[in-house]
Structure 1
Amino acid sequence: MSGDISGSVEPRFEPVRAAFAAAFEGRPTMGAALHVRLRGHPVVDLWGGVADERDGRPWQRDTPSVIFSCTKGLVSILAARLVEEGRLAYDALVTNYWPRFGATGKAGTTVADLLSHRAGLSAPRDDLRFEDILDWDRMVGILADQYPLWCPGTAYAYHAITHGWLAGELIRRGTGLTVGRYFDEAIARPLGVDAWIGLPAAARGRPAHLQVAASINELWQDEALKPGPNWPFRAMTMGGALPAALATPEGGFNDPRLQAAEVPGAGGIATAAALASIWSATVTPTDGVRLIGPGVVDIATRTQSEGPPFFPAEPPYARWGMGFQLDSEARRYLSPRSFGHDGAGGQVGFADPEAQLGFGFVTNWMMGPEDTRATRIIEALRRALG
């Protein structure tokens, strides 16, 4: 596949090119892109493979793809901006901004609890329909009124999809803009990147077509058979509104209606270059833009949640700051100070403040726990940087 890889790397990063090319081995219909910025400047810019296996459309440099939970990282940048500007406080009660949220035993929930997966709302208690998750007001109303699954602030469990509406509603109330609109005004347009939370009509048809490896379907088939309520399974499916694998050939996040909706827990769409540029701009000026300063980065990346979650799960366990995924055994980044967010199926975006680096890897070939593609690329990058 190495002969089909397009783009360029600076000479010292040739091992990164090799690791990227190796990710395609045995996956003839996979498409992917990789972008790395060092001190604001591109040092790796690669793409290759197939953007849509149905018609053979090749992956181009400007091919965007659904980035799934990488979107949570972008929303966490927005929240950090509001904290830096004094429009939001991590230690404040959510009810200071969103009074209705205090219903049903959640009055003591802080913004930090909400962002760090400690709000007790990781999954809906009631079954939902696909149409429900397209309706912002309905979803934030459901979450505001729901009894928590555990006492907020006392434990954590990954809010796989709900995190986006919870954090996004705080952003909407703090800015008067929808989370997608604020993302466009504060991040995408200043940096001039192809990234959206809510795909505009003008970009419809551009995203890569998602393919799900058999391992993912097998994993979730086993989960579906477990006696209920299986809250982690409900967290992924939103009570039946989504396929557990998040995509089918024409449904889930391959559905243009869902791509157009603002679903900031999983529905962002971006190029690899956009992801890398955004994360770069959190730690160093990038194309004249610095998104957040080192002071708020330090606060936002302090560990809030780690270790075994509320619902039993096998290690390794992730580690979370104020919405940011931190370096851990579950997701190794460049260094212990790196922060970002990965996404279902293999997507990864992160920043490293010591190296002043931004990283973006996106792919339409979705894999499960056996996936080592991004991990091996990051290992090659670490070696190249010495």
Structure 2
Amino acid sequence: MGTDVGPDNPAQRRVEAVLAEVVGRGAETGVQVAAWHDGEVVVDAWAGSADVAEGRPMGPDTLVQAWSTGKGVAATLVAVLVDRGVLAYEAPVARYWPEFGAAGKERVTLGQVLSHTAGLPQLPPEVTPERLLDLRGSADWLAGQPPRWEPGAGPGYHAWTYGLLLAELLRRATGRTCDRLLREELAEPLGVGDELLFHVPDRLLGRLATCYDGGWADRLERMPADGPFTVAVPRGVRPVAALADRADFRRTALPANGVMTARAVARMYAALACGGELDGVRLLSATTVTAATTGRASGVDRILGVPLTMGRGFVVGDRATVPVRPRGGFGTSGSGGSTALADPAHRFAFALVKNRMTVPGLDARLAGEVRTALGITDR
């Protein structure tokens, strides 16, 4: 565990103690946690194993499959391009991708895709990993689909299609792939070019943690076969450890997911928490940060069945009994318990990534520990 190089403060010590506990009793395999407050790193901790069979420890630069935590990274990348005038939230997707404007989707906007209100969460029921990872083919299929509800009428989690739609739209609008855009426009300016990714290039595969199941697969197995979640996440492409560890999945840049370190994604959210600028690097204007992170759609999500508020790619606030995000905070969480967020009211950012997929709970516990240690008590 990184006790000899992390900050020396109560927040760091609280996190280190919790990581020692959860790894020590086998509840987690490998974990990274990072937090920023008022433009400074306050937590940088890690513990456990990146790969049990190899005896490879989790380190600060180990890459971890953080699943939908990457949706917030994609939303931030889009915000950067909006800030530069390359994209516009209110523009119809068909402006950039003409074929998309079929089957009643001519008025669906980029903002609606980001806020999960486009009405396009569906995949073919028989979809396989191979078919999902054929990004162009999947995008073509979606372009021909009608919305399942009136676009803009309310949120319905676009689990995989969020990434499929954005990957094709970004390629059409810029002539660059989403992974190249992420590196050039967001990760490299932040100094985390090899730690904030939509996929894992071959040269970085040696730094990737193996993914393990800790009860997450069983939780998904109990989802009703005819329920709305299965429309968005058919059985063949459930986000479980076996999918994460496939070579083709690791190598495919699909911005429904992210591969990252906690310190890299916390650094990104720290910039957002500080109005779009960090360490003298301005990613985007404060105006665009507000436009991206203000709630745009609220209600019971049609796919997840829980109440939430969506901004343009970020979940805003948290209605859970034990919240991860504070009031006014925003971010995204991933299958199996990874999360990242910003709290602009307190210029605070937090990230947790881990390679054992469990029912969430550690994220809220650790975020609460750090906030308490910092004296941030407003939830």
Q: Supply the AA of the counterpart residue of 2:175.
A: G
Q: Does 1:296 pair with 2:288? A: yes
How many Å apart are 1:233 and its aligned residue?
1.9
- Distance, in Å, in 2 between the alignment partners of 1:312 and 1:333 is 17
- Deviation sequence 1:205-252 (CA, Å, 0-9, x none): 3211111113x23222222xx353x33124223x62x2x24222xxx1
> Quick check: 1:327 aligned with 2:281?
no
Which residues of 2 match residues 19-38 of structure 1 at below 5 A?
Answer: 19-24=18-23, 26-27=25-26, 30-38=29-37
> 3-state SS of the aligned residue for 1:68?
coil
Alpha-carbon distance between aligned partners in 2 of 1:20 and 1:351, rounded to the nearest angstrom: 22
**2:155–2:310 contact (8 Å) kept in structure 1:** no
Shift of residue 62 of structure 1? 1.2
Is contact 2:318-2:326 (8 Å) kept? no
How does 1:172-191 map onto structure 2 within 5 Å?
Answer: 172-191=171-190
> Partners of 1:108 and 1:356 in 2: how far apart?
36
- Equivalent of 1:281 in 252, 271, 274: 271
Distance 1:6 1:100, change over 3 A: farther
Separation in 2, partners of 1:16, 1:121: 39
* Percent identity for Structure 1 against Structure 2: 32
Question: Shift of the alpha carbon at 1:334?
Answer: 5.2
In the alignment, is residue 73 of structure 1 matched against residue 72 of structure 2? yes
1:344 to 335, 344, 354: 335
Distance 1:169 1:162 in 2: 11
What residue in structure 1 maps to residue 128 of structure 2? Answer: 129
Report the secondary structure of 1:50's partner residue: strand
Contact 1:24–1:30 (CA<8 Å) still a contact in 2?
Answer: yes
Q: Deviations over 1:13-41 (max 9, x none)?
A: 23343344344353266100111122332
Q: Which residue of 2 aligns with 1:231?
A: 228
Of the three residues 243, 246, 259, the one matched with 2:240 is 246
CA deviation map 1:124-164 (0-9, x unaligned): 14522222222221121111111222222223210111101
Instruction: List aligned pairs for 1:1-386, cutoff 5 A.
Output: 7-13=5-11, 14-24=13-23, 26-27=25-26, 30-193=29-192, 194-214=195-215, 216-223=216-223, 226=224, 228=226, 230-237=227-234, 240=236, 242=237, 244-248=238-242, 252-266=243-257, 268-284=258-274, 285-311=277-303, 313=305, 315=306, 317-330=307-320, 332-333=323-324, 335-368=326-359, 371-386=360-375
Given residue 201 of structure 2, which amino acid in structure 1 is its aligned partner? P
Matched positions, count:
369
Q: 1:173 to 1:24 in 2, by over 3 A?
A: same
Deviation sequence 1:53-112 (CA, Å, 0-9, x none): 222211112111011001110110111112211222222222222211111121221222
Change (3 A) 1:24 1:220: same
Using the TM superposition, give the Cα deviation of residue 204 of structure 1 relative to its aligned residue in structure 2, in angstroms. Answer: 1.3
Three-state SS of the structure 2 residue aligned to 1:61 is coil
Indicate the SS of the match to 2:244. Answer: coil
Q: For residues 200 and 228 of structure 2, what CA distance do their matches in structure 1 show?
A: 29
Please report the TM-score for the alignment, with normalisation by the length of structure 1: 0.89
Counterparts in 2 of 1:96 and 1:358: CA distance versus 1, 3 Å: same
Task: Calculate the aligned-residue CA RMSD, in Å.
Answer: 2.1
For 2:2 and 2:280, locate their aligned partners in 1 and report how far apart those are by CA, in whole Å.
33
Q: Could you tell me whether the CA contact under 8 Å between 2:116 and 2:157 is conserved in 1?
A: yes
1:72 and 1:265 in contact (8 A); partners too? yes
Structure 1 residue matching 2:47: 3-state secondary structure? strand
Shift of 1:272: 0.9
Q: CA deviation at 1:172?
A: 2.1
Segments of structure 2 that go 5 or more residues without pairing to the other structure are none
Q: What per-residue deviation string (whole Å, max 9, x for no partner) do you get for residues 261-290 of structure 1?
A: 111102x21111111111112233334322
Mean alpha-carbon deviation: is it higher for 162-171 or for 24-33? 24-33
TM-score (normalizing by structure 2): 0.90
Deviations 1:309-347 (A, max 9, x none): 23472x4x2321001121112483453222111111111
> Which shifted more, 5-14 or 138-147?
5-14
CA contact 1:7–1:47 (8 Å) conserved in 2: no
Q: In 2, are the aligned partners of 1:282 and 1:293 still within 8 Å (CA)?
A: no
Give distance in 2, aligned partners of 1:162 and 1:311.
13
Q: Structure 1 residues 125-134 or 186-195, which shifts more?
A: 125-134
